[in-house]
Amino acid sequence: MTLLHEKTRRALPLPASSGCVDRPVLKERGQQEVFCGLTGIMWLHRKIQDAFFLIVGSRTCAHLMQSAAGVMIFAEPRFGTAIMEERDLAGLADMNDELDSVVEKLLARRPDIRLLFLVGSCPSEVIKLDLDRAAQRLSQIHSPQVRILNYSGSGIETTFTQGEDACLAALVPLLPPEPDSAPAALMVVGALADVVEDQFGRLFDQLGIGPVRFLPARLADDMPPVGPNTLILLAQPFLTDTVRALEERGATLIQAPYPLGADGTTAWLKAAADAFNVDAETFETVTQAPRKRAERAVGLHRENLQGKRVFFFPDSQLEIPLARFLGNELGMSALEVGTPYLDKRLMAHDIAALPEEVTISEGQHVDKQMDRCRAARPDIAVCGLGLANPLEVEGITTKWSIELVFTPIQGYEQAGDLAELFARPLNRRTRLEV
Amino acid sequence: MQLTLWTYEGPPHVGAMRIATAMQDLHYVLHAPQGDTYADLLFTMIERRQKRPPVTYTTFQARDLGSDTSELFMDAARDAEARFKPSAMIVGASCTGELIQDDPGGLSKTLGLPIPVVPLELPSYSKKENWGAAETFYQLVRTLAPHGPEAEKAADAAPSCNILGPTALGFRHRDDVTEIVGLLEAMGIHVNVVAPLDAEVRDLLALRQADFNVVLYPEIANPAAQWLKRSFRQPFTKTVPIGVNATKDFIREVADLAGLDEDSALALAQSRLPWYSRSIDSTYLTGKRVFLFGDATHVIAMARVAETEMGFKVVGLGTYSREFARDVRDAAKLYDCDALITDDYLEVEAQIQALQPEMVLGTQMERHIAKRLGIPCAVISAPVHVQDYPARYSPVMGFEGANVLFDTLVHPLTMGLEEHLLHMFRDDFEFNDAAGPSHLAHGTVPSPVSEQDNAAPVHDQATAVTPEDQDEIIWLGDAEKELKKIPFFVRGKARRNTEKYAAERGLAEISMETLYEAKSHFSR
Ligand code: SF4
């Protein structure tokens, strides 16, 4: 079985300067069934431990947050919504005062907060409430105790994981400058579970790569410095604006696939190792044991997953790297890979690893896509929460894409878990006799 | 501007979705951005509905603003009609749609669709979910009911009624309807239409055929029932049949409206609650201090059950349904307490802390508050979560509903009793968690890992409970720290597996490497 796998495996293109990979993309326009960028707050507020996310929005925004959170387990979450009301919409001057007093109340209640994000929503964007100005004004009042930034998580501008991009991009101006004379430093960009971040930290350390910093840091005061000798390695594929902002501050992007699966993680580490001139022998010595472990863990699921056909609805932007992982490391075949939007530069390596016959679709017309999915009868469909049960009823096994965002899946030690996330729903199907 | 951490009600267009989703052949075209599609999961995940809600969202984006958002709306409405072939359509805007002022109602008129289209004006910045549901149902009834044939009735026909108010995503609506239909039919009353739950559009045209209306959920059905009374002289019921006594009152009220004999109808009364409550095992329920919070209907009805049928003492109650504040205040007077009218869950929490009740009857929100405060709690009202849709039949209305309520209200208290026992024995060495596991020598409480002390071997006293053969295995400091980073709900399993893995290989120490070796070994 291992032999078969070796044959079907496609070589993962390692860092090369090839730009985008040109291939036809099915562009669709219609009902887009994807969360808005506000949803990123769900993991960002756990990641940055002294930050609070204040959405300036409507009851809908507040309701989205608690519905997507599923369970309300936090005594007092570090996010909330300043709900605009009828009288706020009457006059703008009034609205700024209202916002100031909400912030005042909030900060008095939560003296532990060091970083406050004012998060714009569709309503605040449509009425052109200037949160840039509000953040500056409030910063003057509350600094140095609290820094106040703003970004938009609105559904008219951002989908699901783009909210994290907007948040991190807003953090960039805050990063301390690193002088031209500083030695090369690695900045890993994109929120990762703490446990994954620490694993990567140790690997880079063993490879002799350093200093290594992570954006976002766990505390507001620990955000990493940036300068012309900063090399960026993306841990997440949806960070277009953040990369642009970091590049404007002199940083350089290391082109790499994303660290999903054994091969993905190896290629990702290799890209960094090459940028830091780590010799091949050291690289092999450091990565060999965990890579073998990851391959073994992934291999346990190959029997169940090999040859299975998967259909991705657009959701988290992780679809393309995931399809690459499932194809290359588990022998699955992707029928359609939907993505809310396509950044060909940041996806270059992962797209190149997808076979030509795989349809990549960008945007969404949910009804038409459901029709295509029904016609294709995949073995498993990756989709959002709103679509999962209706597809299951029609006999199509599903994996909720949101679980792929909330679960640690990156790196060697999580490769087996990632495979398991796809194996479990299929496994369940075979068990049930009702 | 109101600072909100959690909300009791969604926006009014979610109320409209509850009506559209409840019905079989109605479609809702909603002018809204993509993020608003989250609302689908309320129905498909929480309520486990098998179909997507019949809602088309226009999902306009920033780049559409000012140019062709109205075009987008018209295309969406036209396509939805063609694809889904509904019998009628409701059209409207979410909070953002409202701001761009495209007038979905006016636009849809110009389309000349072959079905009735009912425009909705749901002010998102002042109203909420239940209001939106009530307004939507009222607009549908008002628009469609007059087109039905006039009531005509044979002199010997049985009395008939409609049941109004049950929706999708309601608290036990599905089973309440079954229970009350059964009760009414047993009384010899013909149930003409149930709406909106499972109704077809044409059923709304038949509403006027009934003699009277049964309002199960006033928050949702009152405006429609009042309009039907004005327009077709159909009286409607005021009693919500929750609890034994309220169900009896309901029977009397219905018998009166239907011209039936009250006493023979009351002979139907059959519930185990009265005996269960009188049996001596229930003595410990006496005078339990309870606090209630939820929608007005359920809080008012459940307070009566708690006080007069369970023998509890109501020490406080409240609602987030501001539209019904007066009724809730009146109810509070019956129990000599104040009514809390708020939609700020922090105020509810403060009230619960101040009153120190022995039990809370509330929503999912209060369940979390009560859990934190260590107070037993039962959920009696929306907002709901997936566990509020049990697989078994469990109404809260009618006589079976009273049985269900008895169980529901007693169940957390038994749990409470067990917890109480645990508290009592807390200082017993076997229960006392500060004493450490019994296989460790007394008095040697291991020190927690400190930052400076990375390599020191440590026992985790909270989880290391399997003694004997594993006594020897030592967790090295950084492996232990790594373990702590694993989410708590799988940490215990990770620890056990790693120890088993180490034991099988005769390892004396667990390093980080061992931890991950074990993880990959067991990964499947
Ligand atoms: S799509 Fe817009 S209005 Fe809807 S929840 Fe997201 S930010 Fe709020």
Amino acid B524: pLDDT: 56
Task: Kindly report the three-state secondary structure assignment for every residue of chain A.
Answer: CHHHHHHHCCCCCCCCCCCCCCCCEEEECCCCCCCEHHHHHHHHHHHCCCEEEEEEECHHHHHHHHHHHCCCCCCCCCEEEEECCHHHHHCHHHHHHHHHHHHHHHHHHCCCCCEEEEEECHHHHHCCCCHHHHHHHHHHHHCCCCEEEEEECCCCCCECCHHHHHHHHHHHHHCCECCCCCCCEEEEECCCCHHHHHHHHHHHHHHCCCCEEEECCCCHHHCCCECCCEEEEECCCCCHHHHHHHHHCCCEECCCCCCEHHHHHHHHHHHHHHHCCCCHHHHHHHHHHHHHHHHHHHHCCHHHHCCCEEEECCCCCCHHHHHHHHHHHHCCEEEEEEECCCCHHHHHHHHHCCCCCCEEEEECCHHHHHHHHHHHCCCEEEECHHHHHHHHHCCCCEEEHHHHHHCCCECHHHHHHHHHHHHHHHHHHHHCCC
**Per-residue pLDDT reduced to its tens digit, B189-198:** 999 999 999 9
User: Is the separation of the CB atoms in B378 and B361 below 8 Å?
Assistant: yes
Amino acid A234: pLDDT: 98
3-state SS, residue B29: strand
**Per-residue pLDDT reduced to its tens digit, B299-348:** 999 999 999 999 999 999 999 999 999 999 999 999 999 999 999 988 99
Any ligand 1 atom below 6 A from CB of A316: no
Of A350-354, A379-383, B353-357, the range with the highest mean pLDDT is A379-383
Classify domain A26-32+298-433 at the CATH topology level: Rossmann fold (3.40.50)
A402-A50-A233 Cα angle (round to 5): 55
User: Is the separation of the CB atoms in A156 and A202 below 8 Å?
Assistant: no
| Residue from A36, A81, A161 whose mutation best tests the ligand 1 pocket (most atoms within 8 A of CB) | A36
pLDDT band, residue B203 (cuts 50/70/90): very high
A81 interaction partners in chain B (CB closer than 8 Å): 3-5
**Per-residue pLDDT reduced to its tens digit, A222-233:** 999 999 999 999
Residue B54 Cα to ligand 1 middle (Å)? 20
- Other C-beta atoms closer than 10 Å to the C-beta of B354 total 10
Residue A61 Cα to ligand 1 middle (Å)? 5
Any ligand 1 atom below 6 A from CB of A119: no
Amino acid A75: pLDDT: 55
Amino acid A311: pLDDT: 97
Tell me, rounded to whole angstroms, the distance of Cα B85 from its chain centroid. 31
Amino acid B451: pLDDT: 33
Closest Cα to residue B219, out of B381, B2, B30, B333?
B381
Contact A123 B99 (CB under 8 A): yes
Amino acid A111: pLDDT: 93
Percent of chain A with pLDDT over 90: 83
Does pLDDT of A166 surpass 70?
yes
Beta strand extents in B96-216 (DSSP E only): 117-119, 160-164, 190-195, 212-215
**Per-residue pLDDT reduced to its tens digit, B406-434:** 999 998 886 555 555 555 544 444 444 44
Residue B33 Cα to ligand 1 middle (Å)? 7
Work out how many CB contacts closer than 8 A connect A with B. 207
Amino acid B444: pLDDT: 35
Amino acid A320: pLDDT: 97
Contact A59 B5 (CB under 8 A): no
A36-158 carries CATH number 3.40.50.1980: yes
3-class SS shares of chain B: helix, strand, coil, % to 5: 50, 15, 35
Strand partners, A159: A36
Contact B4 A81 (CB under 8 A): yes
Residue of B nearest to A157 (CA): B62
Query: For residues A232 and A254, what is the distance between their CA atoms, to the nearest angstrom?
Result: 6
Active-site residue, from B156, B263, B281, B433: B281
Structure tokens at B193: 């239409």
Contact A62 B4 (CB under 8 A): yes
Amino acid B466: pLDDT: 40
B281 is catalytic: yes
Interface probe for A, chosen from B3, B365, B369 (most Cβ of A below 10 Å), is B3
**Per-residue pLDDT reduced to its tens digit, A111-125:** 999 999 999 999 999
Ligand 1 atom 5: residue of nearest CA: A61
Does pLDDT of A93 surpass 80?
no
Q: What is the ipTM of this complex?
A: 0.91
Classify domain A185-296 at the CATH topology level: Rossmann fold (3.40.50)
Residue of B nearest to A29 (CA): B59
**Per-residue pLDDT reduced to its tens digit, A40-73:** 999 999 899 999 999 999 999 999 998 887 654 5
pLDDT band, residue B463 (cuts 50/70/90): very low
Does pLDDT of B145 surpass 60?
yes
Closest Cα to residue A254, out of A329, A349, A320, A174?
A349
Any ligand 1 atom below 6 A from CB of B106: no
Q: Where in chain A is the domain with CATH 3.40.50.1980?
A: 26-32+298-433, 36-158, 185-296
Does pLDDT of A300 surpass 90?
yes
Structure tokens at B155: 């002199």
User: Is the separation of the CB atoms in A187 and A230 below 8 Å?
Assistant: yes
Query: For residues A245 and A253, what is the distance between their CA atoms, to the nearest angstrom?
Result: 11
Contacts of A30 (CB under 8 A, 6+ apart): A363, A364, A365, A366, A367, A368, B59
Conformation bin of residue B99: beta by default, left when phi > 0, alpha when psi is -120 to 50:
alpha
Any ligand 1 atom below 6 A from CB of A60: yes
Amino acid B469: pLDDT: 45
Does pLDDT of A8 surpass 70?
no
Average pLDDT over all residues of chain B: 87
This prediction's pTM: 0.87
Percent of chain A with pLDDT over 70: 93
Residue A78 Cα to ligand 1 middle (Å)? 19
**Per-residue pLDDT reduced to its tens digit, A232-280:** 999 999 999 999 999 999 999 999 999 999 999 999 999 999 999 999 9
pLDDT band, residue B440 (cuts 50/70/90): very low
